[in-house]
């Protein structure tokens, strides 16, 4: 029986870029920084900014620790 190599291991799915509300100046600044980081191929910074942008508008309840 013929054997095939194992499929590649995928460590986590890339998250889609977060879409902040257009009226948030803080996110607008981070979006510009992200665009700059993307242009510089700084994937680590892009990822960091994506997390920061996504976290900025999480519902307050999800930021709380469990009671």
The answer to whether residue 56 forms part of the interface with Zn ion (CB under 5 A) is: yes
The answer to whether residue 27 forms part of the interface with Zn ion (CB under 5 A) is: yes
Q: How far is the CB of 32 from Zn ion (least distance, A)?
A: 13
The answer to whether residue 24 forms part of the interface with Zn ion (CB under 5 A) is: yes
Helices 43-56/25-39 angle, 10° precision: 160
Separation between Cα atoms, residue 22 and residue 53, nearest integer Å = 12
From residue 1 to residue 20, the character string flagging contacts with Zn ion as x (rule: CB under 5 A) and all else as - is -------------------x
Q: Any idea which residue has 């291991």 for tokens?
A: 9
CB 50 within 8 A of CB 34: yes
Residues that bind Zn ion (CB under 5 A): 20, 24, 26-27, 56
């Amino acid at each position: 029986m013929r054997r095939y190599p194992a499929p590649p291991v995928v460590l986590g799915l890339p998250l889609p870029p977060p879409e902040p509300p257009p009226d948030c100046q803080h996110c607008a600044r981070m979006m510009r920084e992200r665009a700059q980081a993307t242009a510089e191929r700084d994937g680590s910074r892009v990822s960091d900014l994506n997390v920061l942008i996504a976290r900025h508008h999480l519902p307050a309840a999800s930021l709380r620790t469990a009671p």
